[in-house]
Amino acid sequence: MTRLSPASLPAYAERYPIQNFDYRLLDSGEGRKLEQFGPYRFIRPAPQAIWPIRLAQKEWDQAVSEYTYSKGKEYGGDWNNSARLPKQAWNLTCEDLVFEIKPTGFGHMGLFPEQAAHWLWIRDFLKSLPEGSPKNVLNVFGYTGASTLAAAAGGAQVAHVDSSKASVNWARHNLELSGLGERPVRWYVDDVLKFLKREHNRERFYEGIILDPPTFGRGAKGEVWKIEKDLPQLLQRCRNVLSREPRFILFTTHSPGFSALTLKNMMLNYLVEPGSGRFDTGEMSLHNEEQGYHIPSGFYSLWWRD
Ligand SMILES: C[S@@+](CC[C@H](N)C(=O)[O-])C[C@H]1O[C@@H](n2cnc3c(N)ncnc32)[C@H](O)[C@@H]1O
């Protein structure tokens, strides 16, 4: 195990190098970020980037589309597409994982690049476990499946849960693109809380759990998810499906106020005994190597036992 500290600051790039990632943060500032997703550049909001931009305007002008929030709204906005925006989705690789990319509502691209260090940690950690160790991994709020692909690449049997059928189909496609289509992955279009209750009743248990709850969401039948109200119940239900020999739990958030310490405290209250394993907690970031900037992009708390 060489990769023990995904996304740790300030030494993210040095401690956790990612080879062959087709994503790059090119510049940031004045509340925006300029990003390269494979061959195309995009501009998206970055409210935390309150510093000046560094690159010349002509670099920013190469963006094929810009997403801006609608006035007065933190969520919801519009893409302003140039004629250079491709009509078709395209592929992006991160080491051996391949993802289909396209701009979608809410300014998303089908991938949260600040999680990249975690994908590789998950893959390598699972590979490093002793031969024959059970490796059942649950990925809830799984979206387009990046962590699911990583766990499958690490040799795990994976359950992937998301309320959006379109996202689950996209994740299945990404698994195929990555040449992992034959790996044992079970797909569930379901409300996470309901799924966890059913899974407990079915007496299915997991050595690894990945949870990345949004601030607000909806289950498959319109059930309302609100992080500040539903988090304790989510963790309690995760506890019910945690194996007696757990290996890792990765808990991340993008919600203001749900800091790394909050996540760790929640894990200690609901999921793991103090002293039972190791913790790595911190801020996720998008990192620009040349400029040395990190754009804060949420929090993580990782617990593991070798
Ligand atoms: C922040 S994204 C997760 C990103 C993902 N973990 C990744 O790293 O690529 C949130 C996801 O949660 C899903 N979601 C929201 N509320 C849900 C619910 N109640 N049950 C299941 N999925 C839900 C959304 O469809 C969305 O795909």
pLDDT band at 16 (very low <50, low <70, confident <90, very high): low
H/E stretch holding 97 reads: strand 97-101
Contacts of 15 (CB under 8 A, 6+ apart): 4, 5, 8
CATH 3.40.50.150 in the chain is located at: 112-304
CB distance 298 to ligand 1 below 6 Å: no
Distance CA 119, CA 145 (A): 10
Task: Output the CA 140–ligand 1 centroid distance in Å.
Answer: 7
Structure tokens at 115: 């999680």
pLDDT band at 72 (very low <50, low <70, confident <90, very high): low
Quick one: pLDDT at residue 13? 46
Amino acid at 3: R
Task: Output the CA 130–ligand 1 centroid distance in Å.
Answer: 31
Ligand 1 site-directed mutation target among 118, 138, 141, most atoms within 8 Å of CB: 141
Quick one: pLDDT at residue 75? 65
- Global confidence as pTM: 0.94
Average pLDDT of span 253-274: 95
CATH no. for 13-107? 2.60.40.1180
Quick one: pLDDT at residue 290? 83
Task: Output the CA 155–ligand 1 centroid distance in Å.
Answer: 23
**Whose CA is closest to 202, among 211, 194, 191, 213?**
194
Average pLDDT of span 8-28: 71
Quick one: pLDDT at residue 73? 63
Quick one: pLDDT at residue 4? 44
Distance CA 192, CA 142 (A): 10
β-bridge partners, 287: 294
pLDDT band at 306 (very low <50, low <70, confident <90, very high): confident
pLDDT band at 9 (very low <50, low <70, confident <90, very high): very low
Quick one: pLDDT at residue 70? 84
**Whose CA is closest to 137, among 108, 120, 160?**
160
CATH no. for 112-304? 3.40.50.150
Average pLDDT of span 180-201: 98
**Whose CA is closest to 56, among 38, 76, 29, 80?**
29
Q: Mean pLDDT in the chain?
A: 93
DSSP 242: B
Under 8 Å between Cβ of 284 and 7: yes
Average pLDDT of span 109-127: 95
